[in-house]
A and B are shown apart, each in its own frame.
Chain A
Amino acid sequence: MNFLAALRKEWLEQWRTYRLLMLGVVLVVFGLLSPLFAKYTPEIIKLIPNGEAIAQLIPTPTVMDAVTQYIKNIGQFGVILALLLTMGVVAQEKDKGTAAMMLVKPLPRVTFLVAKFTALALMFAVTIAIAGAACYYYTWLLFGALDVPRWLALNGLMLLFVLVYVALTLFCSVVTKSQAAAGGLALCLLFILGLIGSIPGLGEYLPGQLIAWGGGLMAGKAEAFWPALWVSVGMIVVALMGASLIFERQEL
C-alpha cells in the first residue's frame, strides 16, 4: 500500500464520518456571519436600552471590521477544530486496534502519518477556501470588493497557522494512548505557545504572527514576516518527524 492509497483511505473516512461536511458548515457559517456582524453591530446595540448613546460612540463599520471579525473567528475556531478533529486520528486507531491492522500491510509508519496529515491539510484547505469565498461575497455585498490577491494571501496564511496546530496535535495523538489525553496535551502546547508568544520580541517569530501578517496585508501594509512563516513550516516538519520517530518504536 503506498502513500496515495493511504491518503485516499483517510480522505474517504473524513467524508464518510461527515467530519469534512461539519467543518465546512461551521467555517462557512462563520465566514458569512463575520461581515454581517461587523455591519450590524451598531444596529444591534441600538436595540438594548440606552443603546442609542453607545451606538453613537461606535464609528461606522468599515471593510476592515469585517475582515478583522473574519480573522478572529476563523483563527479561533480553526485552532479549536484542528485540535478536535486531529486529537483522535492516531490515538483512537491505536486504541481500537485498527492501526495495527493497517500497518500489517507493508505500509511504512511514516507514510501512514504523512497521509493522515495530508488528508487533514486538504480538508482544512478546502473548507477555508469555501469560507473565504463566502466571507468575500458577503463583504462585497455589504461593504465593497476586497483586494483578491491579498485576500488569498490572508487565507493561505491562516491555513498555515491552523496546520501548525494540526501537526502539533497529530504529534500529541501519537505520543498518548487516548483521544482525551491527546487533546489535553495539545491544549497545553497551545497555551505554552501562547505564553511564549506574549514575550516581547519573540512573538513575531511564531505562527501567531501569520494572522497579524494577513491582517496587515488587508489593511494595506506591505510588511512581511517571513521568519514566522519558516518557523511555522519548521514546526510542522519537526512535529511530523518527531511523531514518526516515536511511532516507529511503539508497540501496537
Chain B
Amino acid sequence: MENISSLIPFLIPIVLLQLGLMVFALVDLIHRERTKGPKWVWAFVVIFVNLIGPIVYLVVGREE
C-alpha cells in the first residue's frame, strides 16, 4: 500500500457517510420509546459498528 496520507481524500466521503448515518440513527434511538432489544446495546452497535451498525438499527431495531 502506498503512503497513508494519499488515502485520506478517499476516506472523507466514507467518514461523512458514517457520521451522517450515526447521527441519524442516534437521534432516532433517543426519540423512540421502544426498540427491539435494549437501547444501550443499539447505542453500542450504532456507534461502534461502522456503516453497517446504523443501517442494521434502522432496518431491524426500530419498533413502532
Residues of A whose CB lies within 8 Å of any CB of B are 18, 21-22, 25, 28-29, 32, 134, 137-138, 141
Contacts and interface: CB of A to CB of B under 8 A. Distances in A.
19 contacts: A18-B58, A21-B21, A21-B24, A21-B58, A22-B58, A25-B17, A25-B21, A25-B55, A28-B13, A28-B17, A29-B17, A32-B13, A32-B14, A134-B13, A137-B13, A138-B10, A138-B13, A141-B9, A141-B10
Contacts, number: 19
Interface in B1-45: 9-10, 13-14, 17, 21, 24
Interface residues of B, number: 9
Given A21-B24, A28-B17, A29-B17, 13 more contacts: A18-B58, A21-B21, A21-B58, A22-B58, A25-B17, A25-B21, A25-B55, A28-B13, A32-B14, A134-B13, A137-B13, A141-B9, A141-B10
Interface of B: 9-10, 13-14, 17, 21, 24, 55, 58
A31 B54 CA distance: 20
A220 to B, nearest CB: 27
Contacts of A28: 13, 17
B32 to A, nearest CB: 12
A102 B44 CA distance: 40
Contacts of A29: 17
Nearest to A36: B10
A141 B11 CA distance: 11
